[in-house]
Structure 1
Amino acid sequence: MKIAVIGAKGLPPEEGGIEHHCAEIYPRMVAQGHSVDLFARSFYTRMPAFRQYDFKGVRVISLPCPKVGGSDVIISSALGAMLTAGDYDIVHFHALGPSLFSWLTRMISPAKVVVTCHGLDWQRAKWGKLARLSILLGEKIAVSSAHEMVVVSGALQSYFINNYSRDSAYIPNAPASYPASDTKFTWTSSLGLERGRYMVFLGRLVPEKCPDLLIKAFQSLQKSGWKLVLVGGDDSPTFKAKLLSLANNNPNILFTGPLLGAHLAEIVRGSGLFVLPSDIEGLPMAMLEAMAEGVPILASDILPHRQLLGQNRGVLFRKGDVNSCIEKLDWAIHNTQEIQKFAEQAKIYVSANYNWEQITNKFIDLYNRISTKPLTVPTSTLTSLYADQVKSATLRESALGTKYLEADS
């Protein structure tokens, strides 16, 4: 089977859940005898346009794509869709923004189209009105154009049923395996951190992940001996400045920037608590990875988090509620033995239910199932449908204004 992949920035993965997702499943497909082309973005690959290279058997094709606002998504996805006119069996779009061009693949290629929704990206605060409209339009086109839609959480599955009466296949993510790290925690100690006496936030420093709420809650605790470490890059200098202002030069709050490899593994493994206060998530791989490492988890009570941490696998606080976060943080750092029991249950649960080998096989089964189905929507209908979806998405965006819909509403 010949597969094209559109939507990932590139491989190997640096930051980003989609890139890590692709790095796990597509080399496994190649190992089973399939052929995979992944259309990447030149600013990410740092290679000239149309240069090709190999990543664990996956052919990565670097498309011309400067990083200017969100234009890289549009440019790379449009070019990738145009290049699917070849002899592909499956064209797989990852994320709603790139799916804006799934209709084009339907028009020019005999391949079956699959779209994976990793989250409702148009809800993210970093996007302006035009970008949100484009992503929302991508969502609507994906619903209409894809032969099969895939979602990574039960909350997203409910969203597409409730809003579009569209069935989807639920195939979750799984945790990446951390590399070996220093068992003496030398590097972590050099940062002034004591093993088991600090909490970690891991993710991009963006408003929807709510690191500001966590900083406020931590500042209110003033617990001697505990520190807060925020790991991740930032998309907005303005928001990063806000976080630094909230931290107010507190020596117990550290910003490490993005971490990879052994340093990331060491700082997560040494933490006493992993905290994810997000308002919006698909199925957070960072949390899955911490659970797989046996690190206790505290998170906001959005549906994807409840799916992972239910039945005493972690601690939840009310989404967006600083006082609730303070209360649960205080309980967690005073009940370390109990939350460690939660962490042990979480580790067993992740091992049993979130496995990349199983996930890869589910995708191959899905590809095999739809590859035998004939195309049912004629080109003329798709062209008309695209125009209708542009109008519909514009009207919906106008009605929404600045009020975001929640995936778990």
Structure 2
Amino acid sequence: MTRTIAVIGTRGFPGVQGGVEAHCAHLYPLMQGVNVRVYRRKPYLNEQSRASYPGIEFVDLPSTRIKGFEAVLHTLLCVVHIALHRPSVVHVHNFGPGYVMPLLKLLRLPTVLTYHSTNYEHDKWGRVGKLLLRACEKLAMRWSDRIIFVNRFVMEHQPQWAQRKAVYIPNGIDPVTPSQDTRLLREHGIVPGDYVLAVGRLSPEKGLDYLVQACDTLPQVGQLVIAGASDHDDSYARLMRSHDTAGKVVFTGYVQGEMLRQLYSHARLYVLPSLSEGFPIALLEAMSFGLPIVASDIPATRLIDLPDEAYVQPRDPHTLAQAIANALSHPHRPTYDLTHYTWKKIATDTFEQITKIL
């Protein structure tokens, strides 16, 4: 009998923005000999989400896009469906859905938790929200059978009881070939080879407002291209536009696939100004295209071996501008060793952790 993995904690894929969503989109199509049931949130699905994958069943359930409530409502509906259509194991992404872990245990279902990021560190959460997320974190880790951390430093700071059932498996990348096409660039008036690139959700924890301020003061930067979209409201995007006094910023919205490949292929420099990350897939993608990097000096970026001059203190537009100016004044295409970050290996390692508890 074929085993079934139920997946909760993601908004869904394909065509849905987010690090967890990108992780799932790469991971599950590579799992062979098992059925995968992915629970998706209807409000986030679009035309691209109609794509099908062999061995993957999508269950689309109602939700809301109200911050703080969407995961709560959707996860509860997932558990009801799981109770009626029992899988072999439940794979939970991040600890937000952790409040249902005791329910899954009552249903006698084995569970694997993938811990992506410390969400309660994000500025968008108020005091009550952060307390609730910390409570969910404890429930998720306590009641899960196995824990996968995408960030080794986060794993090492957990209690010994959690580390005993934990393993570190990072995010990954697919092999890439640079694109010669510039169609997307032409659509947005972007000059090939003359722009700084950042990729990520338009959310305060990404630190993109500091990047806009830094580039606004630099004559070396012709254009700053930001590929990403807002999740809940546009207030953060409006803040960034207010800092763009020189009119250098181009917002492309959320892009993926060939369109994103074009942006990576023709950029001068990639900048990741985040205040908090789990394990940034976009950073690995930029490295796979051989782009020089400037990145915030945070634990997640220290997991990757970058030159010392690539790191800058977060929340500091002045030092960020200095690092960008230095990188642009010494143009080169570095070579990175990314052999440990292949999705095929990550899928194999993840499936091994799942099978240990079946």
Common topology (TM > 0.5):
yes
Q: Residue 44 of structure 1 aligns with which residue?
A: 44
In the TM superposition, residue 102 of structure 1 has moved relative to its aligned partner by 1.3
Q: Residue 138 of structure 1 aligns with which residue?
A: 136
CA–CA separation in structure 2 for the residues paired with 1:107 and 1:13: 34
Matches within 5 A, 1:181-192: 181=179, 183-189=180-186, 191-192=188-189
Matches within 5 A, 1:9-408: 9-29=11-31, 32-45=32-45, 54-85=52-83, 86-108=85-107, 110-161=108-159, 167-176=165-174, 181=179, 183-189=180-186, 191-223=188-220, 226-235=222-231, 236-248=233-245, 250-310=246-306, 312=307, 315-337=310-332, 340-341=333-334, 344=335, 346=336, 349-350=337-338, 352-371=339-358
In the TM superposition, residue 202 of structure 1 has moved relative to its aligned partner by 0.7
Tell which structure's C-alpha radius of gyration is larger. Answer: 1
In the TM superposition, residue 138 of structure 1 has moved relative to its aligned partner by 1.2
SS at match of 1:364: helix
Structure 1 contact 91–113 (Cα < 8 Å) conserved? yes
CA–CA separation in structure 1 for the residues paired with 2:160 and 2:209: 32
Deviations 1:301-351 (A, max 9, x none): 1111121133x39711122222221221111000012xx23xx1x2xx22x
CA–CA separation in structure 2 for the residues paired with 1:166 and 1:79: 31
Structure 2 contact 142–162 (Cα < 8 Å) conserved? no
Query: Mind listing any 5+ residue stretches in structure 2 that lack a counterpart?
Result: none
CA–CA separation in structure 1 for the residues paired with 2:105 and 2:13: 26
CA–CA separation in structure 1 for the residues paired with 2:215 and 2:161: 38
Structure 1 contact 143–166 (Cα < 8 Å) conserved? no
In the TM superposition, residue 275 of structure 1 has moved relative to its aligned partner by 0.3
In the TM superposition, residue 127 of structure 1 has moved relative to its aligned partner by 2.7
Structure 1 contact 157–167 (Cα < 8 Å) conserved? no
Matched residue pairs, number? 352
CA–CA separation in structure 2 for the residues paired with 1:202 and 1:21: 15
In structure 2, relative to structure 1, the CA distance for the partners of 1:68 and 1:192 (3 Å cut) is closer
CA–CA separation in structure 2 for the residues paired with 1:138 and 1:84: 20
TM-score (normalised: structure 2): 0.90
In structure 2, relative to structure 1, the CA distance for the partners of 1:194 and 1:237 (3 Å cut) is closer
Structure 1 contact 81–102 (Cα < 8 Å) conserved? no
Structure 1 contact 178–261 (Cα < 8 Å) conserved? no
Structure 1 contact 82–104 (Cα < 8 Å) conserved? no
In the TM superposition, residue 131 of structure 1 has moved relative to its aligned partner by 3.1
SS at match of 2:303: helix
Query: Mind listing any 5+ residue stretches in structure 1 that lack a counterpart?
Result: 372-409
Structure 1 contact 151–168 (Cα < 8 Å) conserved? yes
- Between structures 1 and 2, the one with greater helix share: 1
Structure 2 contact 15–45 (Cα < 8 Å) conserved? no
CA–CA separation in structure 2 for the residues paired with 1:256 and 1:317: 25
In structure 2, relative to structure 1, the CA distance for the partners of 1:294 and 1:163 (3 Å cut) is farther
CA–CA separation in structure 1 for the residues paired with 2:23 and 2:308: 23
CA–CA separation in structure 2 for the residues paired with 1:253 and 1:65: 33
Please tell me the root mean square deviation across aligned C-alpha atoms, in Å: 2.4
* Corresponding letter in the other structure for 2:200: G
Structure 1 contact 210–279 (Cα < 8 Å) conserved? yes
CA–CA separation in structure 2 for the residues paired with 1:13 and 1:241: 24
SS at match of 2:279: coil
Q: Residue 396 of structure 1 aligns with which residue?
A: none
- The share of aligned pairs that are identical, in percent, is 28
In the TM superposition, residue 283 of structure 1 has moved relative to its aligned partner by 0.3
CA–CA separation in structure 2 for the residues paired with 1:90 and 1:302: 34
TM-score (normalised: structure 1): 0.80
Structure 1 contact 199–274 (Cα < 8 Å) conserved? yes
